[in-house]
Amino acid sequence: MANVPNYVPYMKTNSTLLLLLLFLANNTLVFLAHSWELGRPVLDDNEYLKWLDDEENVNDNEVELTKKYSSRNSCDEYFSNGKWVYDESYPLYDSTCPYLSHAVTCQKNGRPDSEYQKWRWQPHTQSCSIPRFDALKFLGKMRRKRIMLVGDSIMRNQWESLVCLVQGVVPTSRKRVTYNGPSMAFHALDFEASIEFSWAPLLVELKKGPQNKRILHLDTIEENARYWRGVDILVFDSAHWWSHSDQNSTWDYYMEGRSMLQNMNPMVAYQKGLTTWAKWIDLNMDPRRTKVIFRSMSPRHNRENGWKCYNQRRPLAKLRHEYVPEQLLVVKEVLRKMSFPVNLQDITTMSALRKDGHPSVYGRAMNGSGEEERRQQSSDCSHWCLPGVPDTWNEMLNVMI
């Protein structure tokens, strides 16, 4: 019998050993992977996807990253083109809402007509309709979040509107208002949500200087901006105070760096102030955590010493010419240069059609007073009666967020 080479059983032994080693290695890797999974922090789906995105885009530059996380609604630019449609189902609340300032409760103050409350905005683009405000859906979207409206008294006007749109579905014992410096907040406790307003009409800082002079610091903002940190949705406006005439100006000097000036073109100053705001947003806000919206200028109908809005009962069908205030052009240019994706909420044209929506002489109660006596009072053609036009701004805002 021929000799069988002794390498055959050696090959069989080594094959068996190799298979055993592969089996053990595979199970060790599975065990290690499983162990890592058990030890990994629990993340919800959004956080986990964000974590993956961070790993995949570790080499992206800042501009690309902010654009990636932009969530601009494709309808935003079409919302401002449309018409006002009379709708008997409006308003969505009444002037007894306890969060309204007396100056905007026009019905309680004696305004005889109420049709100004019943108009809704219908964009011309049918696919971009603005849904009727649903308070519960809004609060569901805002669960465990903060939304803050930052600006002047007209932004306060909008904040009161938003609170009144929401508060009716929140039990009395489950809502409250708190105050913190220049800010106030409405809390819906069961949703752990807050709707906040922060007073900053110029966004940059206005301070008292030597001899009690008022100094507008065009390149300083932190004193106001510290209240904006940690907010999930920020809505800004700043326009009206920048357009005050010299005699009504709220400051005596401009300051930029160490230079102090008494005179400056108002729109140049506005551009400088907004640029300071834009730089702060770019440096301090993360578009994955915070959404930023800039609301355009609310138009005033103050010609003829404020009487242009008196006794107006219906919206205009159209404007005689395109209404584009200088402030809006400045805002668009500043936003264009930012790396952070800020959404522009353009309410200027739609609101310019609503001369009927202002308090006019019904900014305060005058029991027993006739119209002639009311005409001796000042006429407010800047702010808005509530319920009224700002409710539409908030219906649009609800879509944008």
Q: Which residue numbers are catalytic? A: 153, 380, 383
Among all chains, which residue has been given the structure tokens 């138009």?
299
Q: Where are the alpha helices (DSSP H) in 85-218?
A: 135-141, 153-167
**Rounded Cα gap, residues 327 and 239, in angstroms:** 6
Residue 390's contacts (CB-CB under 8 Å, 6 or more residues apart) are: 157, 158, 160, 161, 384
CA distance linking residue 369 with residue 375, whole number of Å: 10
Cβ–Cβ < 8 Å for 125, 77: no
Would strands 233-236 and 214-217 be described as parallel, antiparallel, or unpaired? unpaired
3-state SS class at 352: helix
- Tokens 């578009």 map to which residue? 287
204 burial via Cβ count (<10 Å: 0-12, 13-18, 19+): buried
In the numeric block, the tokens 């009716």 are attached to 168
Dist. CA 177–CA 169, nearest whole Å: 16
Which stretches of 200-274 are assigned E, i.e. beta strand? Answer: 205-208, 214-217, 233-236, 253-256, 259-261
Q: Amino acid identity of 29? A: L
**φ and ψ at 364, to 5 degrees?**
-155, 155
Q: Which residues pair with 235 in a beta bridge?
A: 149, 293
Residues in the chain, how many? Answer: 401
Q: How far apart are the C-alpha atoms of 400 and 293, rounded to whole Å?
A: 9
Q: What residues have CB less than 8 Å from 284, skipping those under 6 apart?
A: 225, 229
Q: Is residue 356 within 8 Å of residue 314, measured between CB atoms?
A: yes
C-alpha 361/C-alpha 368 separation (Å) is 14
